[in-house]
Amino acid sequence: MLFYTQQLTDALSERFDDMDEIKDVANYGCSGGVSGFIYYKDTSKFFTDFEDDVEDVCYDLLGEDYITLLGGEQTSVQGLIQIMVWFVVESYCQWAINKDTAIAA
């Protein structure tokens, strides 16, 4: 996946090493609660650690209006950050499933 830096890919693959969890996140998203990405403090830290990468992934997948598309009715920066991080995590999990499927084929 061209828009993920190795650092971001490594961090996400280190966190998500259980294919069942990856499938759950890919199918149902993060809003149901994914360990390490539930609280604002967690998503804010992840965003701070990978800010450029998170923004790049959102831009690459959604285009220049990604803030509007993801932000919707968000009224806080924290809420927007959380949604952006969730979007990246969910996209990573979908990519991991597709990559795993391609390897198995």
Quick: pLDDT tens for 55-92: 999 999 999 999 999 998 888 999 999 999 999 999 99
Instruction: Note whether residue 70 is domain-resident.
Output: yes
Q: Give the range of the structural domain holding residue 30, as residue numbers without chain letter.
A: 6-104
Give domain status of residue 100, yes or no: yes
Query: For 1-5, 67-71, 96-100, which range has the lowest pLDDT when averaged over its residues?
Result: 1-5
What value does the mean pLDDT take over residues 39-67?
Answer: 95
pTM of the model as a whole: 0.90
DSSP codes, 19-83: HHHHHHHHHH-STT--TTSSSHHHHHHHHHHTHHHHHHHHHHHH-TTHHHHHHTT--SHHHHHHH
Report yes or no on 1 lying in a domain.
no
Number of domains in the chain: 1
7-32 residue pLDDT tens:
999 999 999 999 999 999 999 999 88
